[in-house]
Amino acid sequence: MADKDYSEAGFHDFLRQSAMSGQFNPAIARARKLAAEQLLVELKSHERTDLRLLDVDELCSRFHKMQGSTIRPESLDVYRSRLKDALADFFSWTQDPIAFVPRETETRATRESLKRDTPGEARAREQLALDPPRRPHDIFPVPLRENLVVYIQNVPLDMTLKEAEKIAAVVRALADPDAGA
């Protein structure tokens, strides 16, 4: 039996594949990828070859010492949590890819959002999964109807539901009530 790949490269492949396959909500996949990109620059060589040796809390301490005041403690806590979740799923997937099931909270959230999607939203979600933004300020396409796509830019990767509702309220205020459904 071949050795299992617990390397940093294997982890990045897992993040990419899970986003493209729809195993995770695209927002969760992007958020985890960003956390990994930020924190894993501080890996030691032995950790790069086997992420099971990584102590995420110690990595965050190293990262904070190197970054100093350029990162807020609450942002670091979010990165820590996301990286721990991503690594837990990666280890589970690497151990047994056939039996792998993402953590239930993420699966349920993804399933519920997919049920609410209109056909246009489903196309937009598929496009995001296939071609994820490269940076947080990339543009997100939102197909509204045939031959009409609206683009959203500068969406923070750690946006809260309350902040999303605020943006949605602004968009609702722009809608023409006489335009129909």
**pLDDT band with cut points at 50, 70 and 90 for residue 55:** very high
What b/e readout covers 47-65, taking b as 16+ CB neighbours within 10 angstroms? beeebeebebeebbeebee
Residue 138 predicted with pLDDT over 80? no
Q: What is the pLDDT of residues 28-48, one digit of tens each?
A: 888 899 999 989 988 999 999
Q: What is the pLDDT of residues 74-114, one digit of tens each?
A: 888 899 999 999 999 999 999 998 888 886 554 445 555 56
Question: What pLDDT does 132 receive?
Answer: 58
pTM: 0.57
Token look-up 């246009």 returns 120
